[in-house]
Amino acid sequence: GAVVSQHPSRVICKSGTSVKIECRSLDFQATTMFWYRQFPKQSLMLMATSNEGSKATYEQGVEKDKFLINHASLTLSTLTVTSAHPEDSSFYICSARSGLYEQYFGPGTRLTVT
């Protein structure tokens, strides 16, 4: 079945540094990838929609200069959290879609900013 990987699974960084998270679709080509963040005991909040070769579409309230998304190929999208602060600590999850509806989620990346 469709598999999506994320790397790293956990990252701890100091305030002010940048962190890059990779999302890969391993056995299919993803026309669209999505980035979500999830705070403890809360639902998934969509941050941005990413299509290969084009600029990401950010949801309202998400700073595009802070959360840089690059969708370089049909199997890879990256999210860079720039100048991270403790309030950016969260669970970041990507998903990939090849067809019309179904999304396949990566295992998530837990970011802790100290």
Partner 1 sequence: GQQVMQIPQYQHVQEGEDFTTYCNSSTTLSNIQWYKQRPGGHPVFLIQLVKSGEVKKQKRLTFQFGEAKKNSSLHITATQTTDVGTYFCAGPGYSSASKIIFGSGTRLSIRP
Q: Which residues bind partner 1 (CB under 8 A)?
A: 32, 34, 36, 41-46, 49, 57, 93, 95, 101-108
Q: Which is nearer to partner 1, 14 or 60 (CB)?
A: 60
Residue 87 beta carbon to partner 1: minimum distance, rounded to whole angstroms = 21
Q: Choose among 28, 41, 42: nearest CA to 95.
A: 28
Q: Which is nearer to partner 1, 18 or 42 (CB)?
A: 42
Residue ranges with strand state E in the chain: 4-7, 10-13, 19-25, 32-38, 45-51, 57-58, 67-73, 76-81, 90-97, 104-105, 109-113
Residue 104 beta carbon to partner 1: minimum distance, rounded to whole angstroms = 7
Residue 15 beta carbon to partner 1: minimum distance, rounded to whole angstroms = 25
Q: Which is nearer to partner 1, 18 or 112 (CB)?
A: 112
Contact 111, 90 (CB under 8 A): yes
Residue 53 beta carbon to partner 1: minimum distance, rounded to whole angstroms = 15
Question: Residue 30: helix, strand or coil by DSSP?
Answer: coil
Q: Which is nearer to partner 1, 16 or 99 (CB)?
A: 99
Contact 81, 15 (CB under 8 A): no
